[in-house]
Structure 1
Amino acid sequence: MNIRKAKISDATGIAKVHVDSWRTTYKDIIPQSFLDGLSYEERTKLWGNHISDKTYTIYVAENEGEIIGFVTGGKRETNKEPGASDLTSIYLLEEWQGKGVGKKLLNQMMIAFLQQGDQKVYVEVLADNKTRQFYQYYGAEYVKTVQIKIAGKTLDEEIYVWNNVEQVIQSSK
């Protein structure tokens, strides 16, 4: 298993992980009709654009040439705090969850944040997403809950913060 910076040619693999992980992670949370409507083709275009956009940092986890997970980070438009950034997504294929891949992706992204001078990182996660405990395990502290709408359904989204990027790097080695 290898963690590396994403390339344009990874867009299709990232899209597959994105769609498949949403369908498993958000089953019974987000309306099934929305999950069924997710398209590999549309997500491939989206990820091609994201990889090209230098305001995003994207790493992939690959195993024997297959992308099995990814992590993204950058500063959300709503984040006006100096020295702070956002972990915008981390997804793994279901069969790779709980095997240390997420920890390696988190570590690599935190190293990238530190290299760009960020000391604080925010992450937003649906309250019903059981994987939110992953962030808590690595020291993210609860900030607040906001409501968002996905496919017409109002959902609670929890916002967490890491106040010390170096500490997260040490705990996720």
Structure 2
Amino acid sequence: MRIRLACEGDAQGIASVHTESWKTTYRGIVPDHILDHLTTESRLNQWEQQIRSDEKDQILIVAEDEDGKIVGFACGGKEREGKLPYEGELYAIYLLQPYQNSGIGRQLVKRVVLHLETCQMRTMIIWALERNPACRFYEKMGGIPVQTQWIRIGNEDLAEIAYGWSDLTSFDR
């Protein structure tokens, strides 16, 4: 397994992981009609733009298998909403289902944390749907639930939880 910065040409693999992860992780949580209509193509432009972004405080990293196929990714940077007292944010982390619970997610998060620290950010949050099985992963990594809010996906209101880390210097390395 190789963890590296995303580069030109990675958008297709990232969009595929993003789409497939949503379909496996959120089935039974997010309305089926939303998941049934997700396509890699619908996510492609978002990730092409992210790769081309020159935001110095943001990072996008990928996990590749031994054949060079992207099987996961994570991205983070400056906290986006300004509602909570956190400087950094883990925007997203997704792994294809066969690679979950293998330690890759932990490696991806650690790389984002190192980047945030390099940017002088000492705290971090991530927002996750309350019923997302990854919530246990965030708690195992030291995240503390700090706020809940409601978001609308399709025609349903879903609870979203912010997990916070108030001191990245004590983050489990």
Paired position in structure 2 for 1:111: 114
Question: Quick check: 1:2–1:62 contact (8 Å CA) kept in 2?
Answer: yes
Query: SS at 1:143's partner residue?
Result: strand
What is the identity, as a one-letter code, of the residue corresponding to 2:35?
Answer: L
Question: Quick check: 1:122–1:161 contact (8 Å CA) kept in 2?
Answer: yes
Matches within 5 A, 1:48-87: 48-55=48-55, 56-63=58-65, 64-79=67-82, 84-87=87-90
Q: How far apart in 2 are the matches of 1:26 and 1:54?
A: 31
Unaligned runs of 5+ in 2: none
| 1:45 to 1:30, Cα distance in 2 relative to 1, 3 A | same
What is the identity, as a one-letter code, of the residue corresponding to 1:14?
Answer: I
Paired position in structure 2 for 1:93: 96
State the shift of 1:152 in Å.
Answer: 1.8
Q: Which has the higher helix share?
A: 1
Q: How far apart in 2 are the matches of 1:82 and 1:146?
A: 16
Is 1:162 paired with 2:162?
Answer: no
What is the identity, as a one-letter code, of the residue corresponding to 1:37?
Answer: H
Question: Quick check: 2:79–2:86 contact (8 Å CA) kept in 1?
Answer: no
How high is the TM-score relative to the length of structure 2? 0.93
Structure 1 stretches of at least 4 aligned residues deviating more than 4 Å after TM superposition: 80-83
Q: How far apart in 1 are the matches of 2:166 and 2:159?
A: 23
Question: Quick check: 1:83–1:117 contact (8 Å CA) kept in 2?
Answer: no
State the shift of 1:82 in Å.
Answer: 7.6
Count matched residues: 170
Cα RMSD (Å):
1.4
What is the identity, as a one-letter code, of the residue corresponding to 2:135?
Answer: R
What is the identity, as a one-letter code, of the residue corresponding to 1:122?
Answer: I
Query: SS at 1:90's partner residue?
Result: strand
Paired position in structure 1 for 2:19: 19
Matches within 5 A, 1:124-163: 124-163=127-166
Question: Quick check: 1:79–1:85 contact (8 Å CA) kept in 2?
Answer: no
* Fraction of identical pairs, as percent: 35
How high is the TM-score relative to the length of structure 1? 0.93
Question: Quick check: 2:86–2:125 contact (8 Å CA) kept in 1?
Answer: no
| 1:128 to 1:82, Cα distance in 2 relative to 1, 3 A | closer
Q: How far apart in 2 are the matches of 1:156 and 1:80?
A: 17
Query: SS at 1:119's partner residue?
Result: coil
| 1:133 to 1:81, Cα distance in 2 relative to 1, 3 A | closer
Deviations 1:101-142 (A, max 9, x none): 001001111000110000000110000001111111011111
Unaligned runs of 5+ in 1: none
